[in-house]
């Protein structure tokens, strides 16, 4: 059997590696970083990816690692909020610090070769190599720059398992994760700085050199619900991480030159809380064609095309709705009516929930 090489040991790469090892396919996985490590992520797993995890037998592993079952969510603008609403389906919340490490250990246990702390030469995506390198960095999108921040905190009392707080230029999600911590994670949009601006410039925010910078960004404007929620928060500084250069434009897998899974195909707007799910799902969709290639039953070109077609069929609609949702959520004039509607109409937000996962 031929060896499958996976570049990138995030959720997509590790899940794919694990699934292939379950089928006894030889796999070498390159990961530039080391486990365990924090990642910018809302740490809220929902949607069909949970079924993928169950089919791969990974769900008990995640539940036993202390994943918190989330059953209710509440939504807030910078002035008002909703009472907790039952999620159409429960979600699981687990720190990426724990989750990625868990999957890496399981991959090794199944005999996968993990080249941890080694960056593969990024251009080498020849036959047999799968790209699972995560998001493709893009400095600006329509003139705006996106960046994400995350940190774990204690002493934060939530009204629901997940709270979503929207503000004029971004949103912050708060959810309970393993070990009694609350994950604080936000996506922010920064317009190009006016000439001469220094302190308010994007690079200043993206660097976030001290804790007061990112605390200020998370807390938003004084008097807002998120500001009150985080007033007494004790942040775990070791958990703080940031990511910049995000691209939220949907892409089709078929337009990619390489065989890709996860965010390397396309990134879904984080407001949906569905990126991890897509990482698990795309990994599962890639397993059978890659196994067939490894056994010599399918050409690489056909395997790559089959994976791309499966991913596009599974994700195209979801990505289109997610894009619309992201635009609505970030329209300052619509944020209050949206939160109002989410509070009044269970149908309204269950409809969006279903369309984006």
Ligand X SMILES: Cc1cc2nc3c(=O)[nH]c(=O)nc-3n(C[C@H](O)[C@H](O)[C@H](O)COP(=O)(O)OP(=O)(O)OC[C@H]3O[C@@H](n4cnc5c(N)ncnc54)[C@H](O)[C@@H]3O)c2cc1C
Can you tell me which of 77, 78, 133, 335 binds ligand X, judged by CB under 6 A?
133
Distances (CA, A) of 342 to 76, 87, 216, 326, 349: 10, 12, 27, 15, 5
Annotate each residue in 183-212 with x if it binds ligand X (CB under 6 A) or - if it does not, as one string.
--x-x-------------------------
DSSP letters, 244-262, are E----S---GGG-SSEE-G
Burial (Cβ within 10 Å: 0-12, 13-18, ≥19) of residue 259: buried
User: Contact between 7 and ligand X (CB under 6 A)?
Assistant: yes
Can you tell me which of 45, 50, 156, 233 binds ligand X, judged by CB under 6 A?
45
Q: What is the nearest approach in angstroms of ligand X to the Cβ of residue 320?
A: 17
Rounded Cα gap, residues 276 and 39, in angstroms:
12
Annotate each residue in 88-107 with x if it binds ligand X (CB under 6 A) or - if it does not, as one string.
--------------------
Residues 6+ apart with CB under 8 A from 183: 41, 42, 43, 44, 93, 95, 150, 152, 173, 174, 175, 176, 177
Q: What is the nearest approach in angstroms of ligand X to the Cβ of residue 81?
A: 19
Nearer to ligand X, 37 or 109 (CB): 37
What would the two tokens of residue 340 be? 């109002």
Nearer to ligand X, 35 or 293 (CB): 35
Pick out residues in 222-281 that bind ligand X (CB under 6 A): 243, 246, 262-264, 270, 273-277, 279
Burial 66-105 (b: 16+ CB within 10 A, else e): ebbebebbbbbbbeebbebbebeeebbbbbbbbbbbbbbe
Nearer to ligand X, 246 or 329 (CB): 246
Q: What is the nearest approach in angstroms of ligand X to the Cβ of residue 161?
A: 12
Q: What is the nearest approach in angstroms of ligand X to the Cβ of residue 78?
A: 19
Using CB under 6 A, list all residues that contact ligand X.
7-13, 30-33, 39-45, 119-120, 122, 132-134, 148, 185, 187, 243, 246, 262-264, 270, 273-277, 279
């Amino acid at each position: 059997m031929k060896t499958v090489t996976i570049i990138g040991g995030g959720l997509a790469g590790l899940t794919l590696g694990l699934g292939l090892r379950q089928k006894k396919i030889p796999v070498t996985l390159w990961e530039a970083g080391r486990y365990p490590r924090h990642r910018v992520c809302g740490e809220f797993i929902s949607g069909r990816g949970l079924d993928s995890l169950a089919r791969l037998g990974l769900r008990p592993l995640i539940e036993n690692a202390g994943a918190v079952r989330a059953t209710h969510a509440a939504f807030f603008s910078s002035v008002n909020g909703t009472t907790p609403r039952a999620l159409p389906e429960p979600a699981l919340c687990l720190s990426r610090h724990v989750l990625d490490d868990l999957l890496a250990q399981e991959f090794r246990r199944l005999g996968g070769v993990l080249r941890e702390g080694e960056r593969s030469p990024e251009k080498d995506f020849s036959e047999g190599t799968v790209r699972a390198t995560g998001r493709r960095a893009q400095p600006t999108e329509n003139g705006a720059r996106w960046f994400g921040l995350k940190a774990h905190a204690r002493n934060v009392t939530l009204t629901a398992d997940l709270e979503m707080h929207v503000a004029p230029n971004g949103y912050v999600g708060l959810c309970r994760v393993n070990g009694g911590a609350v994950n604080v994670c936000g996506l922010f949009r920064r317009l190009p700085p006016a000439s001469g601006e220094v302190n308010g410039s994007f690079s200043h925010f993206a660097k976030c050199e001290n804790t007061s910078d990112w605390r200020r960004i998370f807390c938003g404007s004084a008097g807002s619900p998120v500001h009150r929620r985080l007033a007494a928060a004790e942040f775990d500084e070791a958990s703080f991480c940031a990511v910049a250069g995000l691209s939220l434009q949907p892409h089709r897998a078929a337009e990619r030159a390489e065989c890709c899974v996860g965010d390397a195909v396309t990134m879904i707007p984080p407001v949906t809380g569905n990126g991890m799910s897509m990482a698990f799902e795309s990994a599962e969709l890639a397993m059978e064609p890659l196994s067939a290639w490894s056994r010599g039953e399918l050409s690489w070109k056909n395997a790559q095309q089959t994976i791309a077609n499966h991913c596009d069929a599974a994700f195209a609609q979801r990505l289109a709705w997610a894009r619309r949702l992201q635009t609505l959520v970030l329209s300052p004039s619509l944020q209050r009516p949206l939160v109002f509607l989410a509070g009044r109409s269970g149908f309204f937000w269950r409809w969006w929930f279903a369309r984006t996962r």
